[in-house]
Amino acid sequence: MQHVKIKLYTTPTCPYCKKAKRYFQSLGLKFKEVDVSKNQKELETMYRKTKQYGVPVIEIGNQVIVGFDKGKIDRILGIN
């Protein structure tokens, strides 16, 4: 299933970020995690893409999901 690049913008205290990480791990998917509380450049990149500072922001391929929206994640990944 790992045919698409996944990037997860997070902060250490975000409970939905932790849920997203656990979900991808449960599916056996690799992802790149970026802590935007420690990386100003990535924070600016995230803001440019979403026009907001809330996390998690999940990039799957060229699609961006704001928040942990399991249904949307599943649709993008083709999970029934």
Confidence band of 1 (pLDDT split at 50, 70, 90): low
- Separation between Cα atoms, residue 72 and residue 80, nearest integer Å: 11
Q: Per the structure, how many domains does the chain have?
A: 1
Both tokens assigned to 35: 């802590």
Domain of residue 73, residue span: 6-77
Question: Residue 54's domain is classified under what CATH number?
Answer: 3.40.30.10
Mean pLDDT of 25-39: 97
DSSP states of 16-80 as a string? HHHHHHHHHHHTT---EEEETTT-HHHHHHHHHHHSS--S-EEEETTEEEES--HHHHHHHHT--
Mean pLDDT of 21-28: 96
Check residue 2 and give its pLDDT.
58
Check whether 49 has a pLDDT greater than 80. Answer: yes
Query: Do the domain assignments include residue 39?
Result: yes
Query: Do the domain assignments include residue 1?
Result: no
- pTM recorded for the entire structure: 0.92
